[in-house]
Structure 1
Amino acid sequence: MFVFNNDVIPTDCEPGVTRKILTHSDELMMCEITFKKGARGNTHSHPHLQITYIAKGSFEFTIDGETRIVKQGDSVYMPSDAVHGVVALEDGILVDVFNPAREDFLKK
């Protein structure tokens, strides 16, 4: 029921990017993604619904060909199979919520 951030070991993703799986069920997952300035979340798509909250910093998001700058306090929605990627314009943290849970993250 409770997950304490300090107890979660981050996983390396792309260069300058780490991910913590904060908590999850079969239907829902929340992750904290930490970026160094200039780091990229490479362009990809997945069948999961995704909502991202910008907890810290600013980012350039591209979703299905549309690019916008988002900053702390903003949020972004990625529909199922949307092609999306991100670039950190400064050090930052994203909180990603997925439905259903990303089983591919759990296997790593």
Structure 2
Amino acid sequence: MDFLTQAVATVANADHAPLEAFDDPRHGTVQWRTLFSGDRTQTSSLTLGVAEFGPAGTLHSHRHSPCEFYFCLSGQGIVTIDGIDHDLRPGVALYIPADAEHCVVAGEDGLRFLYGFPQDRFSDVDYRFSAEADPVLQAAVAI
């Protein structure tokens, strides 16, 4: 560690983080609260947040270069990773490999999970939605 740089502990409270969502509704109904992101907090190498889904809420099929993890806090849902369904419920953690296609559908009581990326900032994560890459899928999502 450089003597001029001192590591600082950072505390974030999810209840005080603003609720965010995608601008394009074709990406799903998920909302999230960013807890750690280098452009907002004194953190680096880790982006962390809480994803929140209402009943039957969705995050449509997408991929991104960094790997990601989910850790379920409440509710239940199905996370499909490269075509394989995984049940997500409280206490269950999922690792999503880099560039794996994945999507989420919440159960009837909604879903809330912690997510994280090994990135300095959330804005560094380039979401590539499958419907945007496939014109046939894009037309189906618009219906």
TM-score tier, shorter chain, comes to 0.7 to 0.9
Q: Which is worse superposed, 49-58 or 23-32? A: 23-32
Please name the residue that 1:23 is paired with. 36
| Of 55, 69, 72, the match for 2:73 | 55
Q: Is residue 72 of structure 1 aligned with residue 85 of structure 2?
A: no
Calculate percent identity across the aligned residue pairs.
21
C-alpha displacement of 1:91: 1.4
> CA RMSD, aligned part only?
1.7
Q: Is residue 6 of structure 1 aligned with residue 15 of structure 2?
A: yes
Question: Could you say what secondary structure the match of 1:91 adopts?
Answer: strand
C-alpha displacement of 1:104: 4.7
Q: Which AA in structure 1 matches 2:105?
A: V
C-alpha displacement of 1:103: 1.8
Larger Rg: 2
TM-score (normalised: structure 2): 0.67
Q: Which AA in structure 1 matches 2:35?
A: L
C-alpha displacement of 1:27: 1.4
Q: Which AA in structure 2 matches 1:77?
A: Y
Q: What residue ranges of structure 2 are gaps of 5+ in the alignment?
A: 1-9, 38-42, 126-143
* Greater helix content: 2
Which consecutive aligned stretches of 4+ in structure 1 deviate over 4 angstroms post-superposition? none
* Greater strand content: 1
Please name the residue that 2:50 is paired with. 32
- Higher RCO (CA-CA < 8 Å; seq separation 6+): 1
Contact 1:54 1:72 in 2 (8 A): yes
Please name the residue that 1:103 is paired with. 123
